[in-house]
Structure 1
């Protein structure tokens, strides 16, 4: 797939006006306040893994509406003292899988909470969290569940779960509650970006090819899933466009990005038809623009000109590790810088 989106020099300046509902902040304040009425931790129990270098717990926490959400909590075995924790969100159609599948962050010395995605088990990786509130009018795919009204939309529930995962992580033993990182790729990257816009004391954000950014453009320029599922739904229900566009405006990553304050690390492939590069740059370029702080947050972007949705893969992870070490370094520690730059990668 050759480049199909804007040229890189235009992408670096791309800062479109994204439709923002007048009650966006009130909507999310009310949603999160309702979730906060439920105690966050429901159950924490050791999980046997036969891995000697990490310890894992099966965690259940209360998400949207108090619904039980599952997660894996993993730490370096025998680690002393509270650790920074990376709260990770999974890609579209994935569940939390098995605890030995994602070990990068605990092996690097961090605590790690991997949140399940309600209702998405069975597409690419197994999960253990149903979505008991599915069933509102909409299409057959997660991205279209309840899409006719923001109050019913699936991503209202998933984003709320994600904020509650941060709260659950802070309540777990062995976690430094002042050093919580939101992380993810694709859908997980979009959810992490939403969390950065809703939680004002995160230590950092790590997001690659984030989904749900500049959604109005995405559904017009790509047919790749998941955006293509929205287009197919609208092709079948020709009267739903106004309602769908209104719903999507409540979950757009650009609007969340504008409110974020944490240092952020982005990545994008210029041949990505799943999450088109212009949608990612729209969030990156406006990150922190409306957070009310006198100085913009630090941010970095790595660009992969010849890659699609896979982006930088292991190379990007190596860069994330180096960048996060710099962000979290205590005064006097030796670590790489957390730069404010757009860096093009070969």
Structure 2
């Protein structure tokens, strides 16, 4: 087996991260969830022109925190029987991007599972942020709102995901006990965060999750999605006078600090050649999970879409949602 670009596998299997966890972490998220309860559950559904013989497609829009409008690609099987309740998958996309084409989601619908694919606010999809529809950012989302931490971008995204789960679980045809979350990279991180904040999520499929162990990423100088941490110091704090506060604040949206809340079954995938989200940062979260879990290791693969055999694993995971 080739060496990881990070640590040897035997060290990775014991590593639990070095990033700080804020002392008031639990209170921070308790308050955040209470704030969400005060937000009206406003949403609308519009029929999309794309459809197949077995699938109807819709655009779902709901009100996120701070009056953002969040767009969701919603795919519903056509063959639902009267009174039948089916599983649902909540999907989240990669960093700076948007939800993939409708066709990518059809295999799940063919299994009689509804799919809800959320586009993150202010990124490259059709979700707006609180400052308007014309602002689309591929990067610099990680550090947005870091001072003070009440305005953290990913706090808002995680709460958007929670609100989506509330909406979906309110549909009569959805089996609330069979709702799963999934995503790659940023999407994997959001899927895990949602499962932490909603312990009734049944299962998670997280592929090389982003948003974990920020201090480790900075120490490794990984570049890619975490490059903006270095940019922040270069432009905003070149002498690192507030370094401790900076990493403490990022700790509120570090999924390794949420891992122990997850009650869902978790499947995580890691490529040992991943230079974008280093393996150690992923293991930092995985090793703190106290739920039922399994780790799919791809020694020769990095941060890439086509991990041979992974899509089959993903479908097999989805089929488990059909079991009562």
TM-score, shorter chain, exceeding 0.5? yes
TM-score (norm 2): 0.89
Unaligned runs of 5+ in 1: 122-126, 135-139, 289-296, 331-346
Cα shift at 1:187: 0.3
Cα shift at 1:51: 2.3
| Residue of structure 2 equivalent to 1:90 | 93
Cα distance in 2 between the residues matched to 1:248 and 1:104: 36
| Residue of structure 2 equivalent to 1:214 | 213
Contact (CA 8 Å) 1:267, 1:311: kept in 2 or not? no
Q: What are the within-5 Å matches in structure 2 for residues 134-145 of structure 1?
A: 141-145=140-144
Cα shift at 1:306: 0.4
Q: What are the within-5 Å matches in structure 2 for residues 275-314 of structure 1?
A: 275-288=277-290, 297-310=291-304, 313=307
Cα 1:311/1:60, change in 2 over 3 Å: closer
Cα shift at 1:4: 2.0
TM-score (norm 1): 0.84
Unaligned runs of 5+ in 2: 133-138
SS across alignment from 1:15? coil
Cα displacement string for residues 134-173 of structure 1 (whole angstroms, at most 9, x for unaligned residues):
9xxxxx7222222222111111111111111111211235
Contact (CA 8 Å) 1:42, 1:61: kept in 2 or not? yes
Contact (CA 8 Å) 2:55, 2:109: kept in 1 or not? yes
| Residue of structure 1 equivalent to 2:20 | 19
Which of 125, 128, 133 does residue 126 from structure 2 map onto?
128
| Residue of structure 2 equivalent to 1:270 | 272
Cα shift at 1:241: 2.3
| Residue of structure 1 equivalent to 2:105 | 102
| Residue of structure 1 equivalent to 2:190 | 191
Q: What are the within-5 Å matches in structure 2 for residues 241-252 of structure 1?
A: 241-252=243-254
Cα 1:160/1:133, change in 2 over 3 Å: farther
Contact (CA 8 Å) 2:66, 2:130: kept in 1 or not? no
Cα shift at 1:242: 2.8
SS across alignment from 1:177? strand
Cα distance in 2 between the residues matched to 1:130 and 1:302: 35
How many residue pairs get matched?
313
Cα shift at 1:313: 3.3
SS across alignment from 2:273? coil
Cα shift at 1:69: 1.0
Cα distance in 2 between the residues matched to 1:41 and 1:100: 28
Cα 1:75/1:313, change in 2 over 3 Å: farther
Cα shift at 1:212: 0.9
Cα shift at 1:185: 0.8
| Residue of structure 1 equivalent to 2:226 | 227
| Residue of structure 2 equivalent to 1:344 | none
Cα displacement string for residues 295-334 of structure 1 (whole angstroms, at most 9, x for unaligned residues):
xx2101100000001166352121122234346523xxxx
Q: Which has the higher contact order (CA 8 A, sep 6+)?
A: 2
SS across alignment from 2:182? strand
Contact (CA 8 Å) 1:271, 1:307: kept in 2 or not? yes
Contact (CA 8 Å) 1:91, 1:184: kept in 2 or not? yes
SS across alignment from 2:301? coil
Contact (CA 8 Å) 1:90, 1:185: kept in 2 or not? yes
| Residue of structure 2 equivalent to 1:71 | 72
Cα displacement string for residues 27-61 of structure 1 (whole angstroms, at most 9, x for unaligned residues):
11111221222232410122221422211111112
Contact (CA 8 Å) 2:105, 2:115: kept in 1 or not? no
| Residue of structure 2 equivalent to 1:56 | 57
